Amino acid sequence: MSQISANKNLLAIASGLLLTASFPPLKTDWLIWIALIPLLISINNETPKRAFRLGLITGLTHYVTLLYWIINVLANYGGLDMITSIFVLLLLALYLSLFTGAFSALITIKMHSRIKIFLFAAIWVSLEYLRTFFLTGFPWGLLGHSLYSRLSLIQIADITGVYGPSFIIAAVNISIFEIINQRRHILKNRYLIIETILLIVVFALSLSYGKMALARYSIIKPENTMINAAIIQGNIDQSVKWDISFQDKTIIKYSDMTKKSFNTSPDIVVWPETAVPLFFQDENPLTEIIYEIAKEGNTHLIFGSPGYKRDSDRILYYNTAWYISPEGEIKGKYSKNHLVPFGEYVPFHNLIPFVYRLVPSAGDFSKGESDAPLMLGSISSGILICYEAIFPDLAREQVRKGASIFINITNDAWFGYSGAPFQHLFISVFRAIENRRPMIRSANTGVSAIIDPRGIVTAQGDIFTDEIITGRVSTGYNEKTFYTRNGDIFALSLSIICLLIFFIPLFYSKASVKK
């Protein structure tokens, strides 16, 4: 390997490490503004093939170091040995790296374009958008997510979704690279100057919009729209969670913690995903405790417990959120719609049955039959179970159907002591901003929190601790944002523009050949 190739590989690795360092748990999110520059330097004047390989290196470095916690999930809870767990992580990282590789190859093809900053940023966003839904989707760690604490810059998400902040980040990286790369001739490149000025204007407008939005949504809602919420974080060890002999201790613990929250007169009490580790719909002494706790507190109780339904000669299982009214009655339920592939179900299992042997602990859950909000009395609540909160469309659809608040129940114990619980929380921040709805988030071992419509975390617990988190939440947000009404029109428009830019020249070249 030549010295030049080695240096380019090191630059590609540096970009991957900088990208990871921009996300929690590290507090160095400012690195995101320069994270892509080493990769851009490495692929400069390279062929698309070599650029693709360098992009893969960046992607592999980034996703292996960002998603390392998957090894813990698979090895400790998934029944896989360490070697296989590492292999699965590498396989997922390689898949996600294809998008980074594609970005590198595509911008190399257009490296001689007069307009680069906005085109290359549009290419990045188009690939992020594709990653959101392709092969069930995995929009974890998008560029925009790194700005979760830069509230003024991410308020545009109620127009563009997370892709707006991603676009600005990519454009800033590309702009800095172009200025460095063309520093000797920059005054002669009027296109670069114009694009840089336009980028500064876009940045300033986004910042101004963010400040106005923060001011607008900081106005306290009328008292009659405010409710008291209590989040119970039981911190049940995953190794005993499904132990039958431990069921009564789990229910008693949640019951006792909930009673302690009654001094705040909670209107809603939220327990985490699968907080009740049994089939709640089957009557038994433990379920009676749960009915009684709702009646005693005169509160709406939401909690997770597996459900099932008999369908002809088979039984369908669901990951379900149950609602018990203040009268102590089951008044509704929501079953998870977006299941975790290879965790809650095995995709294409009819075509690849051998996968069951690779993932011995994979569940066999069915997709929920409704995505409508749950009515907690007069409160329309959009329910998101576990990683459903990372998918913008799921939250948006619930608000389109009338949800005035979000309730996210999850069990992040799988992640262990890692950055994943914090990454999961701060991705959820964007769902609140996009739709301008507060979120009550209950996690088994953290991070439980209350998020307001500005994306501000107004109450938060720690991880792997017993927590009772209380706070005030407004149910008076009824307007539907541009994003709620129109969805990912920003990202979709950029994707269409990129397709036209790449395919129209091919059409004309074929036409010329025919002549």
Q: Which residues are catalytic?
A: 273, 336, 386
The residues, any chain, with a CB within 8 Å of residue 251's CB and separated by 6 or more, are 276, 286, 289, 290
Residues 326, 294: contact at Cβ < 8 Å?
A: yes
Q: 3-class secondary structure for 178-246?
A: HHHHCCCCHHHCHHHHHHHHHHHHHHHHHHHHHHHHHHHCCCCCCHHHEEEEEEEECCCCCCCCCCHHH
279: which 2 tokens? Answer: 């089939």
Amino acid at 152: S
DSSP string, 463-481: SSS-EEEEEEEE-------
* Residue in 336, 328, 353, 330 with CA at minimum distance from that of residue 281: 330
Cβ-count burial 355-386 (b if 16+ within 10 Å, e if not): eeeebeebbebbebeebbbbebeebbbbbbbb
Amino acid at 146: S
85: which 2 tokens? Answer: 């767990």
406: which 2 tokens? Answer: 């979000």
- The helix or strand, by DSSP H or E, that contains position 269, with its residue range, turns out to be strand 268-270
* Residue in 177, 161, 224 with CA at minimum distance from that of residue 482: 161
3-state secondary structure of 484: helix
Cα dist. 224→35, 376, 472, 475 in Å? 47, 16, 12, 9
Q: Using CA atoms, how far apart are residues 50 and 272, in angstroms rounded to an integer?
A: 47
310: which 2 tokens? Answer: 């008999």
Residues 417, 73: contact at Cβ < 8 Å?
A: no
Q: Using CA atoms, how far apart are residues 249 and 474, in angstroms rounded to an integer?
A: 34
* Residue in 418, 405, 404, 406 with CA at minimum distance from that of residue 447: 418
The residues, any chain, with a CB within 8 Å of residue 384's CB and separated by 6 or more, are 394, 395, 398, 406, 407, 408, 409, 431
300: which 2 tokens? Answer: 């709406």
Cα dist. 90→60, 61, 68, 72, 258 in Å? 8, 10, 9, 14, 42
